[in-house]
Amino acid sequence: MLKKTTIHYFLGLGLALLTILIVEGTLAVLPDIGWYFMTVIYLTIFVLQITFYYLTTNYKFGWTAISFIVNFILWTFEQVVIEKTFHDSFIYHGENWKIAAYVLGGLLWVTNKILIDQLLNLNKSINVQTSKINV
C-alpha cells in the first residue's frame, strides 16, 4: 500500500510540474496569447488529470468516471478554499508561487484519489461480504 501511494504521489507531482513546463513553453512560443493562456492552463490540467487516472486506476469505467467527477468537484472546492484562505501568504505571493500552487494542486488531486479509491475498495469489500451472507 505504501509503495503504491508513494508512486501515486510522485506521478502526481511529476504531472503537476509538467503542467508548468507546458504552460510556460506555450507562453514562450506564443507571448501575445493574452487571456487564452488560461485555456491552455485548464486544458493541460484536465488532460493530465485524465492521464493520471488512466495510469493509476484499475476499476471499471463507470466507477472510474464517478471517482473522477467526485475528485474534480472536491479538488475545485479545495482550491477555492485554499486560495481564499491563503491568498496573502507566501504560497501565492512568493518568488516561486506558480510552482507552489501547482504542486499543492497536484498533491490535493492525488490525496483525493487515494481516499476515493479506499472508499471504493471498502464499498467493494462490503458488497462481497454481504453477498456471502445472503448466499
Per-residue confidence (pLDDT) for residue 67, from 0 to 100: 87
**Burial of residue 19 (number of CB atoms within 10 Å: 0-12, 13-18, 19+):** buried
Query: What band does 135 get if pLDDT is binned at 50, 70 and 90?
Result: low
Read off the pTM. 0.75
Percent of the chain at pLDDT exceeding 90 = 1
- Smallest Cα–Cα separation from 54: which of 68, 44, 36, 74? 68
Tens digit of each residue's pLDDT (9 = 90 or more) over 27-56: 888 888 877 778 888 888 888 888 888 888
Query: Do residues 113 and 52 touch, judged by C-beta distance below 8 A?
Result: yes
Render pLDDT for 65-96 as a digit per residue (tens, 0 to 9): 888 899 889 988 988 888 777 777 766 676 66
